[in-house]
Structure 1
Amino acid sequence: MVVHNLFYETLEKGKQVASNVLANDKTRDVFIQNLRNEMNQFKYDGINIDMENLYLTDRDSFSQLIKELSDAVNRDGKVVTVSVPANTGDSRANPWSPWFDYEKLAIFSDGLMIMTYDEPNPRTKPGSTASVDWTEATIRYALKHEVPPSKILLGIAGYGWDWDTTAGDAKYSSYEELMGQKAKY
């Protein structure tokens, strides 16, 4: 099961929804109980929490949510993974990276799903979705921040970007579209 805060009218609304969930013990408890009910009803083996674009002030509350969620669902024999933005610790880090405490999240969860994609993206110049050097730098960063190798899960892009360098924009391209381009050219 995947839970995220991305498909609201705006990124700001998704950020506020997450903040409301993280606000205090009561809201976290209700959220966790709702997740447990859903997981048990549909017999999910685990859950991936993919809350992005959090307020920096929610950093510790997010880590606390993952601890409480893991404590609850691990007792049910289920796993918790957390999606985190790729972080290299340098200028190539995702701008949302500081919101995630890799060390605490690695302690509290069963795995960190590091989103190693979109190194170049529609706001940057063209390039590989995830270069080898950048991906390796994200792994080194995670290891440096006490994430055990057994808890590192790499998110791999199943898509790409089609850059129009004349217009200066990029179009999302699905795997199917990319394979069509490959066959055509």
Structure 2
Amino acid sequence: MIYVVRAGDTVYSIARETGVEPAQIQYDNQLYGQSHLVPGQALLIRGPGESSEYSGLYVTGYVYPFVQRDILLESLSYLDELLIFSYGFTPQGDLIPPRVSDLPLIELAWSAGVRPMLVLTPFGADGRFNNYLVNRVVEDVDVQENLIRQLEDTVRVMGYAGVDVDFEYILPEDRAGYAAFVENLREVMNENGWQVSVALAPKTSADQAGLLYEGMDYRLLGQAADHVFLMTYEWGYTYGPPMAVAPLNMVRRVVEYALTEIPAEKILMGIPNYGYDWPLPYVRGTTAATVIGNVEAVRIAAENGAVIQFDEIAQSPFFTYRKDGILHEVWFEDVRSLEAKLQLAQEKGLMGVGYWNLMRPFRANWLLFAGSDA
């Protein structure tokens, strides 16, 4: 069950009310280091004999090679696939490996029965998505063949299970060519028993305007890849106004449009494992939010005497607090918002869900996939 903290509640009073040991409530919800419970805080309470209704979902998530080992180990038990971020490439199609070796993560994933996937991104020298690199792969046959050949060699040598293609800001004129590249890559990978997935920006219609969307053809990419990863988050973002990162009403719109173009059994619905803290007042072009973890968000609320509220339309928690004379607004995820997303994935019969990203701890999220004996 999910218990929403009321004013005056303590771990011990909740334990008496629910019949669950205080130590388990503290452990499951990572309450150590939090000075007190926060009114409006959502706690996961696992009673004896309970089992998860979400255990049938396929689960994946992105991770950088420099992830803390203990944080990754906690999530591995619930994953089917691990997306290791990321390999880049040059304008000539030569692969650029991550700065930190990815081999330890590959070995750790396989040892846990999890399929490690090489993530390919067109990052330029500034570390941002570069649509010139995408255009080179799409337009130059030699560059594309070289890149696919190097991906095949790297997947084989490093022991990957396949490739996840995460290209963004694709030029509209490269729309069909980009899908053809994914299809060509999949053909080579499938011949070797490997898979190809592709990340999709969060569209709600086929003709959606904007550089993030116009080069993404859901139908073509859904046909080209073995499965797709819907990036249904970043509605609230660093330079945008305060709002939920993945409001359920918008997530639902993305999923429902995707289902008109792609079979449900090929769709992974993205879930954010983070929140944002905005200083107020918000000034467009000036204000920048700070990325925070979901456990960290509750600790901030506790330290500053905030009360957590819950937006019923967005199905997301938020709160405001004042520190050093500055008002802040925080939006994040809790077990209520996560359960709403998992229920949506089940309702629509999707293949599963995927997390961006696995770098921050959030034990209660993983326990949603587990029974009381986990």
Q: What does the per-residue CA deviation read over 1:88-136, in whole Å, with 9 as the maximum and x for residues that have no partner?
A: 1299987511211111111111111110110122343211101111011
- Does the Cα contact within 8 Å between 1:161 and 1:170 map onto a contact in 2? no
User: 1: distance between equivalents of 2:270 and 2:125?
Assistant: 23
Report how far residue 5 of structure 1 moved: 1.7
Equivalent residue for 1:173, pick from 291, 302, 308: 291
Equivalent residue for 1:110, pick from 217, 221, 226: 226
- Does the Cα contact within 8 Å between 1:87 and 1:93 map onto a contact in 2? no
Equivalent AA in structure 1 for residue 165 of structure 2:
I
- Does the Cα contact within 8 Å between 2:170 and 2:214 map onto a contact in 1? no
User: 2: distance between equivalents of 1:39 and 1:159?
Assistant: 30
Q: Does 1:159 align with 2:277?
A: no
Q: Which residue of 1 aligns with 2:168?
A: 52
Report how far residue 158 of structure 1 moved: 1.6
Report how far residue 10 of structure 1 moved: 6.7
Residue 181 and residue 92 in structure 1: after superposition, are their counterparts in 2 closer, same or farther (change >3 A)? farther
Number of equivalent positions: 181
User: 2: distance between equivalents of 1:137 and 1:89?
Assistant: 9
The structure where helix makes up a greater share of residues is 1
The range that moved more, 95-104 or 130-139, is 95-104
Q: Structure 2: where are the runs of 5+ without partners?
A: 1-117, 303-374
User: 2: distance between equivalents of 1:91 and 1:135?
Assistant: 18
SS of the residue corresponding to residue 70 of structure 1 reads helix
The 5 A counterparts of 1:43-82 are 43-82=159-198
Q: What does the per-residue CA deviation read over 1:148-177, in whole Å, with 9 as the maximum and x for residues that have no partner?
A: 0011111211222211122532323132xx
Equivalent AA in structure 1 for residue 151 of structure 2:
L
Q: What does the per-residue CA deviation read over 1:71-94, in whole Å, with 9 as the maximum and x for residues that have no partner?
A: 000111111000010011299987
Equivalent residue for 2:213, pick from 97, 106, 112: 97
Report how far residue 7 of structure 1 moved: 5.3
User: 2: distance between equivalents of 1:93 and 1:154?
Assistant: 22
Q: Which residue of 2 aligns with 1:139?
A: 255
- Does the Cα contact within 8 Å between 1:86 and 1:94 map onto a contact in 2? no
- Does the Cα contact within 8 Å between 2:277 and 2:292 map onto a contact in 1? no
User: 1: distance between equivalents of 2:210 and 2:258?
Assistant: 14
Equivalent AA in structure 1 for residue 292 of structure 2:
S
Residue 165 and residue 158 in structure 1: after superposition, are their counterparts in 2 closer, same or farther (change >3 A)? same
Q: How large is the RMSD of aligned CA atoms in angstroms?
A: 2.2
Equivalent AA in structure 2 for residue 87 of structure 1:
K
- Does the Cα contact within 8 Å between 1:85 and 1:94 map onto a contact in 2? no
Report how far residue 11 of structure 1 moved: 4.6
Residue 125 and residue 132 in structure 1: after superposition, are their counterparts in 2 closer, same or farther (change >3 A)? same
Equivalent AA in structure 1 for residue 288 of structure 2:
A
Report how far residue 31 of structure 1 moved: 0.9
- Does the Cα contact within 8 Å between 1:4 and 1:51 map onto a contact in 2? yes
Report how far residue 45 of structure 1 moved: 0.6
Query: TM-score if structure 2 supplies the norm length?
Result: 0.45
Residue 121 and residue 67 in structure 1: after superposition, are their counterparts in 2 closer, same or farther (change >3 A)? same
Equivalent AA in structure 1 for residue 173 of structure 2:
T
The range that moved more, 21-30 or 80-89, is 21-30
Q: Which residue of 2 aligns with 1:2?
A: 119
Equivalent AA in structure 1 for residue 143 of structure 2:
T
SS of the residue corresponding to residue 106 of structure 1 reads helix
User: 2: distance between equivalents of 1:21 and 1:91?
Assistant: 24
Instruction: Give the number of the structure with larger relative contact order, counting CA–CA contacts within 8 Å between residues 6 or more apart.
Output: 2
Equivalent AA in structure 1 for residue 270 of structure 2:
G
Equivalent residue for 1:15, pick from 110, 127, 131: 131
Q: Does 1:27 align with 2:143?
A: yes
Q: What does the per-residue CA deviation read over 1:31-90, in whole Å, with 9 as the maximum and x for residues that have no partner?
A: 101111110011101110001112211111101101100000011111100001001129
Q: Which residue of 2 aligns with 1:148?
A: 263
- Does the Cα contact within 8 Å between 2:207 and 2:214 map onto a contact in 1? no
SS of the residue corresponding to residue 181 of structure 1 reads helix
Q: After TM superposition, what 4+ stretches of structure 1 lie above 6 angstroms from structure 2?
A: 90-94
User: 1: distance between equivalents of 2:225 and 2:268?
Assistant: 12
SS of the residue corresponding to residue 250 of structure 2 reads helix
SS of the residue corresponding to residue 156 of structure 1 reads strand
Query: TM-score if structure 1 supplies the norm length?
Result: 0.88
